[in-house]
Amino acid sequence: MTTQAENTSSGLMAKAVKEGIFAGFIAFGMFLLYVGIETYQNIDNQLVWRTRWGLLAVFVVVAAIGRFLTVAFFKPMVDRRKLAKAKTGVLEISSEKSFFHKHFLKIALIALLLYPIGSVMLFGPQGSLKYVDNFGIQILIYVMLAWGLNIVVGLAGLLDLGYVAFYAVGAYSYALLSANFGLSFWVLLPLAGILAGFWGVILGFPVLRLRGDYLAIVTLAFGEIIRLILINWTDVTRGTFGISGIAKASVFGIWSFDVSSPNYFPKAMGLATSSAWYKIFLFYIILALCLITAYVTIRLRRMPIGRAWEALREDEIACRSLGINTVATKLTAFATGAMFGGFAGSFFATRQGFVSPESFVFLESAVILAIVVLGGMGSLTGIAIAAVVMVGGTELLREMEFLKLIFGPDFTPELYRMLLFGLAMIIVMLFKPRGFVGSREPTAFLKERKAVSGSFTKEGHG
Amino acid sequence: MAGENLLKVQGVETYYGNIRALSGVDVEVNKGEIVSLIGANGAGKSTLMMTICGSPQAKTGQVIFDGEDITRLPTHLIARKRIAQSPEGRRIFPRMTVLENLQMGANLDNLKYFKEDVEKIFVLFPRLKERQSQRGGTLSGGEQQMLSIGRALMARPKLLLLDEPSLGLAPLIVKGIFEAIKKLNQEEGLTVFLVEQNAFAALKLSDRAYVMVNGRVTMSGSGKELLANPEVRAAYLEGGRH
Ligand SMILES: Nc1ncnc2c1ncn2[C@@H]1O[C@H](COP(=O)(O)OP(=O)(O)O)[C@@H](O)[C@H]1O
Ligand SMILES: [Mg+2]
């Protein structure tokens, strides 16, 4: 028995070493030309090349060691965990959840409410900017966008690759109406949402009959059309120059965040002059918008329209034979999702003070969709976690100065953002193919609620 | 009110593109009856079921339900006239629980009768009660069929359309399902229009039946008559089974 175990473990080590060396070779082959050799222009403007053996060696060693560790330790550990789970029984209707698990949402909400205050206390107003703005607001915008898209993709099952178009409609609605008519943020926020929702219906009509990949292509084209209009309709949108000097949001029209204004908010409150207070104010606005999105989504799921969305995702023909108006159902899904995109867009415009078509490229749609998929289509908690991991992770990259010590002073970590995004996606999908939170919360109950474990979510046939 | 006409299909022709799937079909179903439609694979049985529900719509001819012409009505409005269907292949919602599936069948705007109706369905199909919080997609074939019928019943239908409820199921389970249909008909007076390839079981259960060949109704009569008919026996009962 022991010898057998030793045998297999030494066999495993040999296998891991072999695979590690193999991975090293592959990395060498793959990166030799891209990393090992670098071209640059010298003083005479000639294109010459030089080698970077050190950097190439780092890539090769990382690949080899990574593969070795995966095969030798990581995979056996995962397998053991799976086996242990299988042994303890398939039905994990766990009534014994930890305190943290049970009150996760409340804890998260309190933490979010205290987050800006905490950062100010720890780092001072100026120091808190980075945490409140770069992390807090940035992540919450994506949470809101992903929750909005979740209604279309996660609930109604309509694959939308052009979601950023509604974000753009919201942002430009605010920018243009505020610049031309001087309307305030609080008037334009709902208006931008309504306008985006209207565009959602406009997109919805032509694609009513489409599903899956065909729908994806048309929505992708729609997103590009909106962007091209923004670029080329220069009389109104000022094209690629964008619109700058967009008005800041006020504290419900009572105080303002313009330093020159007589009722400048920090002064009225007796605070030091700093842009941090405005960012903190924005943080609470986007937090409130996110909470509204979540609340509406949760409520809608329990209402006839939300149920119809989910049924539509599962089987359109069955829906029709059950008396569900599939046309109205799809249009409301597009409109509701677009509306939240529009809210987020107008928030984005007021936060940046500047909008240009640059911000609404296809990549944005892809990132938002990736967050929805990673989070586990339909699960609000999962999507929020995915947004924190993906957006927060890429923001963290900017902070990682030490990487320059490894990769040389020219290394700019932000440029590897997409690479890391992709790697993270692959890893998550390998280990959690249904996303962070793959189980779906049922909405129909007779007596008390019974949690349905993840093992029930696998589809069976026959 | 047994005997009064509930569904009347008159000279219906249905096309898929240029291909004619139904060529002048006449079928009648009276209140309180079980009527079945038998025929080989590809005869057009499912097409007739779907035409009654308006998807696809009949190109010529009429579908009259409860004295009202529903030929041109959109599908979801036909369903609201309380024609419920358990479609071919069951088409339950796989990621939703049994209870949620049943809820989708009920009138979503008015769930007043939801509990009461669910209890009734659990009496009819006790298996569904045991599995009420399980995902539809993880049910066995027989349970899925029960769920599909149960979901249709949640609409409190005047007419229940069943498309091949025995498809791919073990004989014992088929027997159970047919008994449930009989019970619904006898105790609740539910009118049932049943499509089957399993001709023997269907004809035994039915008051009347139609035989369909290549998009046309070629024979009709009481269940007993057709069971005794030599042509039917040769084509659908003895060795003629597919
Ligand atoms: N969606 C469709 N598009 C085109 N042809 C179809 C479609 N559905 C069915 N058909 C054709 O219509 C005919 C009748 O099919 P169907 O009604 O499904 O027969 P049954 O239910 O009796 O087996 C067949 O020839 C079939 O190929
Ligand atoms: Mg059929």
Instruction: State the Cα angle at A343 between A340 and A348, rounded to 5°.
Output: 125
- Cβ–Cβ below 8 Å for B133 and A314: no
Nearest CA in chain A to B108: A304
- Residues A346-373 pLDDT 10s: 999 988 888 999 889 898 898 899 889 8
pLDDT of residue A1: 43
Distance in Å, alpha carbon of B50 to nearest chain A alpha carbon? 9
Query: Does the beta carbon of B41 lie inside 6 Å of ligand 1?
Result: yes
Using a CB–CB cutoff of 8 Å, tell me whether A261 touches chain B: no
Residues 6+ apart with CB under 8 A from A38: A49, A50, A51, A52
Pocket test for ligand 1, best of B19, B86, B217 (most atoms within 8 A of CB): B19
pTM of the entire predicted model:
0.78
CB A290 within 8 A of CB A144: yes
Q: What is the pLDDT of residues A156-194, one digit of tens each?
A: 888 889 899 999 999 999 999 988 887 888 888 999 999
Q: Is the CB of B18 under 6 A from ligand 1?
A: no
Within 10 angstroms of residue A8's Cβ, the number of other Cβ atoms is 11
Ligand closest to B164 (CA) is: 2
Q: Is B133 in the pocket of ligand 1 (CB under 6 A)?
A: no
B139 and B99 Cβ atoms separated by less than 8 Å: no
Of A83, A118, A150, which residue is a domain's last? Answer: A83
Looking at the fold, whether A261 and A303 belong to one and the same domain comes out as yes
Among the candidates A335, A360, A385, a domain finishes at A360
**Interchain proximity A308–B53, CB inside 8 Å:** no
Most confident region among A41-45, A61-65, B11-15 by mean pLDDT: B11-15
Q: What's the rounded Cα separation, in Å, for the pair A264 and A49?
A: 57
pLDDT in the model for residue B158:
93
Confidence (pLDDT) at B32:
93
- HSE-CB at A318 with a 13 A cutoff on CA atoms is 25
Is it the case that residue A146 has pLDDT exceeding 50? Answer: yes
CA distances from A330 to A189, A311, A314, B108 (A): 24, 11, 13, 17
Nearest-CA distance from A356 to chain B in Å?
A: 41
Sole residue written with tokens 């009064």: B4
Q: Do A124 and A183 share a domain, yes or no?
A: yes
Share of chain A above pLDDT 90, in %: 20
Question: Does residue A169 sit in the same domain as residue A261?
Answer: yes
Query: What is the DSSP-derived secondary structure letter of residue A451?
Result: P
Angle at A328 between CA A324 and CA A334, to 5 degrees: 125
**Other CB atoms within 10 A of residue B38 CB:** 26
- Whether A142 and A243 share a structural domain: yes
Checking if the pLDDT of B87 tops 50, the result is yes
E strand segments, B31-169? 34-39, 60-65, 68-69, 83-86, 159-163
pLDDT score, position A452: 46
Query: For residue A270, is pLDDT > 80?
Result: no
**What is the DSSP-derived secondary structure letter of residue A23?**
H
Confidence of residue A401 (pLDDT cuts 50, 70, 90): low
Of the listed ligands, the closest to the CA of B16 is 1
Q: In this predicted structure, what is the pLDDT of residue A10?
A: 74
Do A209 and A253 lie in one domain? The reply is: yes
- Between the CA of B216 and the centroid of ligand 1 the distance, in Å, is 13
Strand B159-163 to B191-196 pairing: parallel
Residue A71 in domain: yes
Tell me, yes or no, whether A422 lies in a domain.
no
CA B212: distance to chain centroid? 15
In whole angstroms, what is the distance from residue A251 CA to residue A245 CA? 18
In the structure, what pLDDT confidence band is assigned to residue A56 with cuts at 50, 70 and 90? confident
Say how many CA atoms lie within 13 Å of A460 toward its Cβ.
14
A 402-441 residues with CB < 8 A to B: 440
Rounded to whole angstroms, the Cα distance separating B6 from B160 reads: 11
Q: What is the CATH number of the domain that holds A117?
A: 1.10.3470
The mean-pLDDT minimum among A109-118, A149-158, B63-72 falls in: A109-118
The number of domains in chain A is: 2
pLDDT of residue B43 exceeding 60, the answer is: yes
Query: Which neighbouring-strand residues pair with A264?
Result: A256
Mean pLDDT over B31-40 rounds to: 93
Of B55, B94, B140, the CB nearest to A314: B94
8-state DSSP, B62: E
CB atoms within 10 A of CB A77: 10
Same domain, A296 and A356: yes
Decide if A445 touches B, using CB distance below 8 A: yes
Residue A89 in any domain: the answer is no
Among A415, A406, A416, smallest CA distance to A58 is for: A406
- Residue to probe by mutation, ligand 1, list B12, B16, B196, most atoms within 8 Å of CB: B16
Residue A122: φ, ψ to 5°: -80, -40
Whether A159 and A47 map to the same domain: the answer is no
Tell me if residue A161 falls in helix, strand or coil: coil
Instruction: Please tell me the distance between residue A318's alpha carbon and the centre of ligand 2 in angstroms.
Output: 15
In this complex, is the C-beta atom of B118 within 8 Å of any C-beta atom belonging to chain A? Answer: yes
Residue with tokens 């899904």: A333
Most confident of A130-134, A276-280, A311-315, B104-108: A311-315
Note whether A6 and A64 are same-domain residues.
yes
Quick one: average pLDDT of A6-27?
81
Secondary structure (3-state) at B204? helix
Region of poorest pLDDT, from A112-121, A221-230, A245-254, A380-389: A245-254
Same domain, A261 and A353: yes
User: Residue A35 pLDDT more than 90?
Assistant: no
In A238-361, which residue ranges form alpha helices assigned H by DSSP? Answer: 265-269, 276-301, 304-314, 316-321, 326-352
Q: For residue A320, count CB atoms less than 10 angstroms from its CB and return exposed for 0-12, middle for 13-18, buried for 19 or more.
A: buried
DSSP letter at B237 equals I
Residues of A in contact with B100 (CB under 8 A): 307, 442-444
In the listed set A360, A392, A415, which residue is the last one of a domain according to the structure?
Answer: A360
d(CA B93, nearest CA chain A) in Å: 6
Q: Are residues A67 and A118 in the same domain?
A: no
Nearest-CB residue to B141 (from A320, A444, A462): A462
Which range marks the domain in which residue A190 is found?
110-360
| Dihedral sign from CA coordinates of A23, A28, A30, A31 | positive
Segment A25-48 mean pLDDT:
81
Q: Does B5 touch chain A (CB under 8 A)?
A: no
Report d(CA B121, CA B125) in Å as an integer: 6
Cβ of B153 closer than 6 Å to ligand 1, yes or no, is no
Q: Which residues of A touch B103 (CB under 8 A)?
A: 307, 443-444
What is the rounded distance in angstroms from the CA atom of residue A284 to the CA atom of residue A116?
A: 9
> Among A11-25, A141-155, A237-251, where is mean pLDDT lowest?
A237-251
Contact B91 A443 (CB under 8 A): no
* Residue B47 CA, ligand 2 centroid: distance in Å: 7
Quick: pLDDT tens for A59-94: 888 888 888 888 888 888 888 877 776 665 444 444
Same domain, A212 and A287: yes
Measured distance CA(A241)–CA(A243) in Å, rounded? 7
Q: What are phi and psi of B211, to 5 degrees?
A: -115, 130
Per-residue pLDDT band for A259 (boundaries 50, 70, 90) equals low
At B64 the pLDDT is 95
pLDDT-based confidence at A256, cuts 50/70/90? confident
pLDDT at B14 over 90: yes
Tell me the torsion sign for CA atoms B98, B99, B100, B104: positive
Inside any domain, residue A425: no
CB B191 less than 6 A from any atom of ligand 1: no
Candidate ranges A42-46, A273-277, A377-381; pick with highest mean pLDDT: A377-381
Q: What percentage of chain A has pLDDT greater than the value 70? A: 84
Residues with CB in 5 Å of ion ligand 2: B 46, 88
Q: Are A261 and A250 in contact (CB under 8 A)?
A: no
Provide the pLDDT for residue A124.
73
Cβ distance A421 to A367 under 8 Å?
Answer: yes
Share of chain B above pLDDT 90, in %: 67
The answer to the question of residue A96 being in a domain is no
Does any domain span residue A59? yes
- Count how many residues are written for chain A: 462
Does pLDDT of A289 surpass 90?
A: yes
The CB of B110 under 6 Å from ligand 1? The reply is no
For residue B26, which phi and psi values (nearest 5 degrees)? -120, 125
Q: What's the pLDDT at B240?
A: 42
B139 and A460 within 8 Å at the Cβ level: the answer is yes
Distance of alpha carbon B173 from alpha carbon B143, whole angstroms: 9
Task: Rank A68-77, A206-215, A352-361, A422-431 by mean pLDDT and report only the highest.
Answer: A352-361
Region B139-166 average pLDDT: 92
A349 touches A174 (CB < 8 A): yes
pLDDT recorded at residue B71? 94
DSSP A87-102: HT-S--------HHHH
**Residue located nearest, by CA, to atom 14 of ligand 1:** B44
Q: What is the pLDDT of residue A438?
A: 67
- Residues A197, A139, A136: CA angle, nearest 5 degrees: 120
C-alpha R_g of chain A? 26
Nearest Cβ partner for B100 among A325, A442, A459: A442
Is residue A286 one of the residues assigned to a domain? yes
Q: What is the pLDDT of residues B187-237, one digit of tens each?
A: 989 999 999 988 888 999 999 999 999 999 999 999 888 888 888 888 877
Which chain B residue lies closest to A448 (C-alpha atoms)?
A: B133
Characterize the bridge pairing of strands B216-222 and B208-213.
Answer: antiparallel
Q: What is the pLDDT of residue A6?
A: 52
CA B211 and chain centroid, separation:
15
Average pLDDT for chain A: 81
Show the tokens assigned to A54.
């050190």
Bond from prior residue into B56 cis (ω within 30 degrees of 0): yes
Give the number of residues written for chain B: 242
Question: pLDDT tens across B154-199, in order?
Answer: 989 999 999 999 988 888 999 999 999 999 999 989 999 999 988 8
Give the per-residue pLDDT at A441: 75
User: Does residue A461 carry a pLDDT above 50?
Assistant: no
- Note the pLDDT tens digit of each residue in A95-142: 455 666 677 778 888 888 888 788 777 877 777 777 888 888 999 999
**A222 neighbors A210 (Cβ within 8 angstroms):** no
Q: Are B86 and B162 in contact (CB under 8 A)?
A: yes
Same domain assignment for residues A238 and A177: yes
pLDDT at A207 over 90: no
- Does some domain include residue A451? no
Nearest ligand 1 atom to the CA of B44 is 17
Neighbours of B141 (CB within 10 A): 16
| pLDDT for the residue A429 | 77
Pairwise CA distance, residues A384 & A55, whole Å: 36
Helix and strand numbers, DSSP H then E, in chain A: 20, 4
Interface A–B counts its CB contacts (< 8 A) at 104
